Amino acid sequence: MDKVAIVILNWNGRRMLEQYLPSVLQYSKEEATIYVADNASTDDSLAFLRASYPEVRLIVLDQNWGFAEGYNKALRQIEAEYYLLLNSDIEVTHHWLTPLIEYLDAHPDTAACQPKLLSIFDKDRFEYAGASGGYLDRFGYPFCRGRIFETVELDNGQYDNVADILWATGAALMIRAKDYWAVNGLDGRFFAHNEEIDLCWRLRIGGRRIVCIPDSYVYHVGGGTLPKSNPMKTYLNFRNNLTMLYKCLPDSELATVMRWRWFLDYLAAWETLILNRNWGDFKAIYRARRAFKKWKKDFEADRQQIQSQRQVEKIPEQKDFSLLWQYYAKGRKLFSALPL
């Protein structure tokens, strides 16, 4: 059994693998076994890996299962104490694995952790997808130490302490295998987007800790699969976020939050149409609301199971304030300015 299995999920990512896999091999092969799980790519990713990197272990999936179920199917074929889910567009650094491994070894109450995520295009700035660890506001909007909505901070060491977080980025997520499977892994129905937040939230409900370890840092391209303004990405984000809220919110909060989200989601749809003239995202939000309503019943059993296993009624990393109000009305655009 591997101590650490680094698993890169690939779909038509030959260019990313060619550029960033060398750093993973250079700085990780002494401490981890490196896998690439291929989601039925139609480019020459597999031929490239077999010819150039025979030391990388390949898992070939029969179709594009998406991020969530793709990882589930790949990880079922790997025996390891720790999984490290790593995007193909990550450049890692010298000794990046050591702080992550040492922390999990020393803290059995911690299920998962992430390194500090910096932008590969501006290495002094955090990267959008996870920065220095993630949180949620009262209404399910995610934010990070170092990133709130589109405001991404410079890294001046202000978030270099180890911190408990609600969610660790799926771009570079280290997790105990036993914890991963104890909550049935990522929700494959999500396909992509919000799946790591959902996974980490379920672990926190069960009393497990999630942390950011900034002594470890990596550089992330970001947006390697879909551009930021993309109707499919908008659709998946809204649909999956609503589903995650339905699964994970306690009974005392569910009805109120869902009423507010009905209003806020349709407000967002009309804002994107009127102010940005973005017809694609407008339709995507309406489609997402309809899709959530249609498949909500499929998650009733999930909700009951999650709530029955609740060990933490009020999770500190899910904040009571509205991030929209703090950001747009109060002008608080930095993590340090929030009423934490």
Token couple for 320: 């009571």
The pLDDT assigned to 224 comes to: 40
- 300 burial via Cβ count (<10 Å: 0-12, 13-18, 19+): exposed
Between strands 110-119 and 33-38, the pairing is unpaired
Residues 235, 153: Cα–Cα separation, whole Å: 27
pTM: 0.95
Q: What would you measure as the largest C-alpha separation in the chain, in angstroms?
A: 56
Residues 114, 132: Cα–Cα separation, whole Å: 8
Residues 132, 167: Cα–Cα separation, whole Å: 10
Predicted confidence (pLDDT) per residue in 196-231, tens digit: 999 999 999 999 999 999 999 999 998 544 455 689
pLDDT of 310 > 70? The answer is: yes
Q: What is the dihedral of CA 268, 273, 276, 282, to 10 degrees?
A: 70
Domains of the chain: 2-220 (3.90.550.10), 231-337 (no CATH)
Burial 10-34 (b: 16+ CB within 10 A, else e): bbbbbebbeebbebbeebbeeebbb
Predicted confidence (pLDDT) per residue in 87-115, tens digit: 999 999 999 999 999 999 999 999 999 99
Residue 232 CB neighbour total at 10 angstroms:
15
**What CA–CA distances, in Å, run from 32 to 27, 174, 210, 266, 302?**
10, 12, 21, 46, 33
> What radius of gyration, in Å, describes the C-alpha atoms of the chain?
19
- Average pLDDT (262-291) is 95
The pLDDT assigned to 178 comes to: 98
pLDDT of 330 > 90? The answer is: yes
Quote the DSSP letter at residue 53. -
The pLDDT assigned to 78 comes to: 98
Predicted confidence (pLDDT) per residue in 22-53, tens digit: 999 999 999 999 999 999 999 999 999 999 99
- Average pLDDT (149-163) is 97
| β-strand partners of 91 | 219
The pLDDT assigned to 228 comes to: 55
Residues 173, 164: Cα–Cα separation, whole Å: 14
2 within 8 A of 80, measured Cβ to Cβ: yes
Residues 263, 234: Cα–Cα separation, whole Å: 17
pLDDT of 312 > 90? The answer is: no
* For the chain, percent of residues with pLDDT exceeding 90: 95
The pLDDT assigned to 229 comes to: 67
**What CA–CA distances, in Å, run from 326 to 320, 329, 337?**
11, 6, 9
pLDDT of 176 > 60? The answer is: yes
The pLDDT assigned to 223 comes to: 57
